[in-house]
Amino acid sequence: MKGVFPLEEKLVPVVCPYCGVGCRLYIKSLDGYPRGIEYAKDIPGISNENGKLCPKGNAVLEYLLAKDRLKKPLKATEQGKFVEISWSEAIKEVAERLRAYSKDDPNAMMFFGSARTFNEPNYLIQKLARMLGTNNVDHCARLCHSSTVSGLKAVFGAGAMTNTYKDIEEANVIFIIGHNYAETHPVGFRYVLKAKERGAKVIVADPRFTRTAWFADIFLQHYPGTDIALLNGMMHVIIKENLYDEDFVRRRCVGFDELARTVEKFTPEYVEKITGVPAELIVQAARTFATAGKGVITWAMGLTQHTHGHDNVRLAATLSAICGYQGKEGCGVSPMRGQNNVQGACDLGVLPNVFPGYQAVTDPEKRKFFEEFWGVELSGEVGLTVIEAAHAIEKGKVKAYYVMGENPVISDANTNHVLKALQKLEFMVVQDIVPTPTMEFADIVLPAAAMLENEGSLTNTERRVQWSFQALNPPGEARPDWWIVSEIGKAAGFSGDGARGFRYTSPEDILREINACTPQYRGITPERLKSNLAGIHWPCPSEDHPGTRVLYKERFLTPDGKAHLAAVDYRGPAEVPDEEYPFLLTTIRYVGHYHTLTMTGRSRALVKRWPEPLAEIHPEDAERLGIKTGDWIKIETRRGAYPVRAKVTRTVKKGVIAVPWHWGANVLTNDALDPVSKIPETKACACRIAKISEEEARELMKAVPKVIPEFEVVKG
Ligand SMILES: Nc1nc2c(c(=O)[nH]1)N[C@H]1C(S)=C(S)[C@@H](COP(=O)(O)OP(=O)(O)OC[C@H]3O[C@@H](n4cnc5c(=O)[nH]c(N)nc54)[C@H](O)[C@@H]3O)O[C@H]1N2
Ligand SMILES: Nc1nc2c(c(=O)[nH]1)N[C@H]1C(S)=C(S)[C@@H](COP(=O)(O)OP(=O)(O)OC[C@H]3O[C@@H](n4cnc5c(=O)[nH]c(N)nc54)[C@H](O)[C@@H]3O)O[C@H]1N2
Ligand code: SF4
Ligand SMILES: [Mo]
């Protein structure tokens, strides 16, 4: 990659490597080294109008310059100790090991794609897994919006956001549930504020009084895990008072009678008992939402990360449909995708049940298409999901992991279980940009170029596919993800021409192959993306198609074309408070930090402003336990203990405690799964709390994996 840039200053348009809003910015570079950023004020139609960025986007260069960036392939000599090796050695070893598993038992391998990198390497990782004989390929969407994908598929026939930011701006009511919009999609939140300025009403449902709640006209503070009751309660009122869109329901929905029967008992008074939300507020929210004429529902992890996440999502979609808020501008459902390219990773089949374009592996016709396309026989057996894979290691079924850009030691629920499982692996490859605690278990480490150091396409939460150009040189011998997977694919023996092998010379080659096998991306060619910086919204079925803003104008994607309304009785979280563990724990995010801190944790500016996690606890609970703001406390669940300082605040309800998970709080969380989407319940579990001394805290900290680890590396 070196030498691409002559000594001149460049201004390169890229996409922010953090969240799913997909903001654009320019990187100013000299000879491939960063000199600063500039706002993309001059690009019409992008999601960040006027080029505005949030704190993470503004600090985007710091982690790239981190001293501990991975620069050479590494091989473990023992756990957590490495020696540098050459790329050819690394690729040969990985390819030979994968090839051997492929021969003996392909399902002993598990592949992780990455919502943090481009569409092209994600397409390749699933192609590699499948050509090696397994559908064991998944990624962090499982921990995130898998229940959105399954829930929306059940109701509307497909799992993506049905609208765009423009529709949020044009709505008359925006119902934000389980989504701290102002902190987690800060630039996207500007569209909510614009709608509000126009007079739109904002309803927020969250167990915490969040920064988003500050902007609410109606705030519903329910207990974590009680969303089914809340949504049923709103629909009870809407049906009882005849506020639903009868015509839309008759023409375009099925299942209304059963829905009406099921929500019958969810009177506002009954729902108040379950959720803690005053009955009159439920009535007010229901009336405001249903009578606005144009309405949008947005949600994120507060709704999805539950053992009933699939049902939560089905009910949110059902609420939208009965109000007739589908298939038109200013309406729709907006599950805000989290990672910069989680939408793309899902679209391109980094999921154990579907090929690119959500084509089921179990469908013989789709399988036949890909068998001919890739030139190999393919498995029709649905593969394992992220958490299922960790359990399969324990049973000796899964023996090898290839992890491209994920950090399960910090991000998976129930860390202690993950650690135990990873220890048992025979072979693990980690492909990342910096050392992570997951790397401790790696046999081979492959240094990847970060997003701004290579190029490709990625898909934001609005289904907007954009091209991000190479702005900088990667450090040392770090290489683009697409290059690494291609080399391994070739070395594993897949050296056929075109789609039958991995002989790519650029990400453009790969995107053209994606165009050929992914119906939604058919017309989204590299040429079009590179000349149109605002990108194209899929579905885009041909090269002369402009892309699609609003889905389902005529029909839904279910087999009969109708919305399948959900009727669901109430159930709460898998674990509820009891005498031993009397508090309800939920896990949250800060605006200035991102996930497992591999990037924001290496930014001095962000760490200075957001130095540590604080557990939010209600004043009455704190008083009873003798806890003051700043005191160390121990949070304990059936799975582990976590030391953290307390923040006494009325943002949470009595009996609830909220802790950011960025620094390792998954030692506490419950890995109980939603039976349909297989998402773990990271938003609600039972815990107990005790005040501790600083020494005790330090002692307990030893059992929590270090987010920024240091490993011994012998130079090659
Ligand atoms: N700054 C920042 N931005 C991010 C990320 C980040 O790490 N940092 N991550 C990105 C990713 S991948 C994602 S998926 C999104 C996540 O975005 P969000 O989902 O907005 O983030 P969270 O803070 O995890 O959870 C949202 C809210 O859910 C509430 N909640 C907890 N339990 C419940 C419940 O039972 N019901 C309801 N209705 N609400 C509940 C919490 O109080 C919290 O305010 O953010 C993206 N953007
Ligand atoms: N308790 C609790 N747990 C949660 C959540 C929660 O709300 N509560 N949220 C869940 C959610 S929504 C999500 S999305 C997951 C996220 O889970 P992860 O995806 O595991 O978390 P990240 O920190 O985003 O990890 C991405 C990894 O990719 C690396 N990386 C960054 N850029 C590149 C690149 O260009 N190439 C390569 N090869 N690697 C790169 C990063 O350094 C990092 O190690 O966590 C989940 N875990
Ligand atoms: S809102 Fe998201 S995409 Fe935009 S600058 Fe912030 S982190 Fe980046
Ligand atoms: Mo996410």
| Residue 426, pLDDT above cutoff 90 | yes
Check residues 427 and 5 and name the one with the higher pLDDT.
Answer: 427
> In 10 A of CB 421, how many CB atoms?
23
**CATH fold of the domain at 583-701:** Barwin-like endoglucanases (2.40.40)
SS3 386: helix
pLDDT of residue 2: 47
Beta pairing partners, 351: 354
Q: Binning pLDDT at 50, 70 and 90, where does residue 32 land?
A: confident
Residue to mutate (ligand 2; options 60, 62, 111, 143; most atoms within 8 A of CB): 143
**pLDDT over threshold 80, residue 1:** no
Please give all residues whose CB falls under 5 A of ion ligand 4, grouped by chain where several chains appear. 144, 338
Please report where in the chains the tokens 């505005």 appear, as a residue: 52
Residue 35 has pLDDT above 90, yes or no: yes
pLDDT digits (tens, 9 = 90+) for 94-119: 999 999 999 999 999 999 999 999 99
Q: 644: helix, coil or strand? A: strand
For the segment 293-346, what is each residue's pLDDT rounded down to a tens digit? 999 999 999 999 999 999 999 999 999 999 999 999 999 999 999 999 999 999
Ligand lying closest to the C-alpha of residue 177: 1
- The reply to whether 144-339+560-564 shares the fold of 74-143+343-537 is no
Going by C-alpha positions, the residue among 376, 419, 448 that lies closest to residue 122 is 448
Superfamily of domain 9-65: ADC-like domains (2.20.25.90)
pLDDT by residue (tens digit) across 622-675?
999 999 999 999 999 999 999 999 999 999 999 999 999 999 999 999 999 999
Please state the φ and ψ torsions of residue 530, each to the nearest 5 degrees.
-70, -25
With a 6 Å cutoff on the Cβ, whether 146 touches ligand 2 is no
Q: Does domain 74-143+343-537 have CATH number 3.40.50.740?
A: yes
Q: State which amino acid sits at residue 37.
A: I
Expressed in angstroms and rounded, the spacing between residue 663 Cα and the centre of ligand 2 is: 12
Mutate to test the pocket of ligand 3, among 49, 53, 451 (most ligand atoms within 8 A of CB): 53
Percentage of the chain lying above the pLDDT 70 cut: 99
The yes-or-no verdict on residue 6 having pLDDT over 60 is: no
Report which DSSP code applies to 157: S
Question: Does the pLDDT at position 90 exceed 50?
Answer: yes
In sequence order, what E strands does 79-221 have?
81-84, 109-112, 137-138, 173-177, 201-205, 218-220
Beta bridge partners of 74: 84, 445
Paired with 636 in beta bridges are 641, 688
Q: Is the pLDDT of residue 9 over 90?
A: no
d(CA 585, CA 623): 18
Task: For residue 47, give the ligand nearest its CA.
Answer: 3
- pLDDT tens, position by position, 466-503: 999 999 999 999 999 999 999 999 999 999 999 999 99
Is residue 396 packed enough to be buried (19+ CB in 10 Å), middle (13-18) or exposed (0-12)? exposed
* Residue 3, number of CB atoms within 10 A of its CB: 8
How much distance in Å is there from the Cα of 99 to the middle of ligand 3? Answer: 39
DSSP state, residue 434: S
- What is the side-by-side order of every strand in the sheet holding 536-537? 456-459, 464-468, 536-537
pLDDT at 4: 55
Ligand 4 centre and the CA of 57: distance in Å?
17
Residues 205/234, Cβ–Cβ less than 8 Å: no
Mean pLDDT score, 27-31: 92
Mean pLDDT of the chain: 96
Q: Can you give the residue ranges of every domain in the chain?
A: 9-65, 74-143+343-537, 144-339+560-564, 583-701
The 3-state DSSP class for residue 563 equals strand
Q: Which CATH class is domain 144-339+560-564?
A: alpha beta
Which atom of ligand 1 is nearest the CA belonging to 306? 35
Share of the chain above pLDDT 90, in %: 97
Q: What is the pLDDT of residue 105?
A: 97
Which atom, in ligand 2's list, is nearest to the CA of 446?
38
Q: What is the tens place of the pLDDT at every residue in 372-401?
A: 999 999 999 999 999 899 999 999 999 999
Q: Packing angle between helix 481-491 and helix 87-104, nearest 10 degrees?
A: 60
